[in-house]
């Protein structure tokens, strides 16, 4: 695939104008973001055409809690990929900044992100408006006790030569504070996200295949609660049939023109 696939000029046609008008009139916007909004910051997605899992299906094991807890080799691989991850030093891009503009206009109800990279907060969103529904890679937690520490502390241990660092309090298994496949979401976060989907007058979904549940279920929930749905992604999603406007193209090009 062409590495600049999403860089092409978006077609600013009738759907774009419809989406712009819908956003202009909306007063309570819920934004739902996925990995696609962060690819312009150098962080690959999983399922996109150039995604990590598309290129290496084995990599999916690193995000599965059963493999992680039972196999030290998977944990070593997961820690290595964490240290080498481009996400560690990444910065927000035009797509993230365009969403901050919605908050500055006073119309952002809640931003629900499936991303674990912390870039929405770095771009300037108020922390209390953001729900990191799949957790965060900026912290590490123990799977057996309440120990929680910043990722930098563990990266220092990894850089000093440890390959599968254990909990300094109880000796338990450490893991980034992300929600892997097989782990439950935090119930309060999901309840808050569902309430937001029911209260909004427009849901804007950006950079997600909308195929991971229960998060993808926020789209039909908002729709059935009367909200308009706008989807921005580089390729079709599982929820396009519910949308009032669907825009295909590069997020960094499309979003600023929608939210300004
Ligand atoms: P996904 O990988 O399933 O889908 C991403 C979508 O974004 C794809 O359809 C892809 O074509 C599109 N896309 C990528 N770059 C784009 C661009 N510049 N412009 C337009 N479209 C673009 O992502 P998902 O649905 O969010 O699910 C992946 C899961 O993996 C999430 O749950 C998330 O927790 C995790 N994840 C997070 C990060 C991150 O934090 N940045 C990165 C990878 C995966």
The enclosing domain of 111 has a CATH number of: 3.40.50.1220
CA atoms within 13 A on the CB side of 47: 14
Domain match, 166 and 241 both? no
The total of other beta-carbon atoms located within 10 Å of residue 19's CB is 24
Give the pLDDT score at 2: 43
Per-residue pLDDT of the chain (260 residues; tens, 9 = 90+): 344 466 544 556 788 899 999 999 999 999 999 999 999 999 999 887 878 878 887 788 888 999 999 999 999 999 998 898 888 889 999 999 999 999 999 999 999 999 999 999 999 999 999 999 999 999 999 999 999 999 999 999 999 999 999 999 999 999 999 999 999 999 999 999 999 999 999 999 999 999 989 999 999 999 999 999 999 999 999 999 999 999 999 999 999 999 87
The best mutation among 34, 98, 256 to test binding of ligand 1, ranked by most ligand atoms within 8 Å of the C-beta, falls on 34
Residues 151 and 235 in one domain: no
Are 16 and 65 in a shared domain? no
For residues 235 and 196, state if they share a domain: yes
Same domain, 140 and 258: no
Helix, coil or strand: residue 118: coil
Based on the domain organization, do 215 and 174 belong to the same domain?
A: no
Is the C-beta atom of 248 inside 6 A of ligand 1?
Answer: no
Q: Compute CA distances 16 → 19, 21, 101, 232, whole Å.
A: 5, 9, 18, 10
Domain interval for residue 80: 44-84+135-178
The answer to whether the beta carbons of residues 217 and 190 sit under 8 Å apart is no
- Quick one: 33 and 69 in the same domain? no
Ligand 1 centre distance from Cα of residue 36 (Å): 4
**Residues 79 and 140 occupy one common structural domain:** yes
Q: Which two tokens stand for residue 223?
A: 């729709």
The predicted structure's pLDDT at residue 11: 53
Q: Give pLDDT, residue 7.
A: 54
Q: Is the overall model pTM greater than 0.85, yes or no? A: yes
Number of domains in the chain: 2
User: Is residue 114 within 6 Å of ligand 1 at its C-beta?
Assistant: yes
Q: Which residues contact 68 (CB under 8 A, 6 or more apart)?
A: 62, 74, 75, 78, 173, 175, 180
Q: What is the CATH number of the domain that holds 78?
A: 3.30.1600.10
On whether both 22 and 139 belong to a single domain, the answer is no
Ligand 1 pocket, residue 39 CB under 6 Å? yes
Instruction: Give just the sign of the alpha carbon dihedral 53, 66, 214, 146.
Output: negative
134 is catalytic: yes
Residue 14 has a pLDDT of 81
Distance of alpha carbon 129 from alpha carbon 107, whole angstroms: 11
Please name the residue that has the structure tokens 């990444």: 90
Do 147 and 252 lie in a common domain? no
Helix H or strand E encompassing 232 = strand 228-233
Where does residue 171 fall: left (phi above 0), alpha (psi -120 to 50 degrees), or beta otherwise?
left
Are 118 and 141 in the same domain? no
Query: Measured in angstroms, how far is the CA atom of residue 110 from the centroid of ligand 1?
Result: 19
Instruction: Please report which residue ranges of the chain form alpha helices under DSSP H.
Output: 14-25, 52-55, 65-70, 72-84, 94-104, 119-123, 151-159, 187-199, 218-224, 251-259
| Residues pairing with 205 in the sheet | 32, 231
Residue 161 CA to ligand 1 center (angstroms) comes to: 31
Unique residue bearing structure tokens 């503009």:
101
């Amino acid at each position: 695939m062409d590495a600049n696939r999403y860089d092409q000029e978006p077609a600013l046609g009738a759907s774009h104008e419809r989406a712009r008008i819908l956003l202009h009139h909306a007063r309570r916007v819920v934004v739902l973001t996925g990995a696609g909004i962060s690819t312009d910051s150098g962080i690959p997605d999983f399922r996109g055409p150039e995604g990590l899992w598309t290129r290496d299906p084995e990599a999916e094991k690193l995000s599965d809690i059963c493999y992680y807890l039972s196999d030290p080799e998977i944990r070593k691989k997961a820690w290595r990929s964490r240290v080498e991850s481009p996400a560690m030093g990444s910065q927000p891009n035009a797509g993230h900044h365009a969403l901050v503009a919605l908050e500055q206009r006073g119309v952002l109800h809640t931003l629900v992100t499936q991303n674990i990279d912390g870039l929405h907060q770095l771009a300037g969103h108020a922390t209390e408006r953001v729900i990191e529904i799949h957790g965060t890679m900026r912290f590490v937690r123990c799977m057996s006790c309440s120990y929680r520490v910043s990722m930098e502390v563990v990266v220092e241990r990894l850089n000093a030569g440890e390959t599968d660092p254990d909990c300094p309090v109880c000796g338990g298994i450490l893991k980034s504070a992300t929600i892997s496949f097989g782990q439950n979401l935090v119930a309060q976060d999901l309840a808050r996200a569902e309430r937001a989907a029911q209260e909004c007058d427009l849901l804007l979904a950006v950079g997600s295949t909308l195929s991971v549940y229960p998060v993808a279920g926020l789209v039909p929930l908002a729709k059935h609660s009367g909200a308009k749905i706008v989807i921005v992604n580089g390729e079709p999603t599982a929820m396009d049939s519910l949308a009032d406007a669907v825009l295909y193209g590069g997020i960094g090009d499309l979003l600023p023109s929608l939210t300004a």
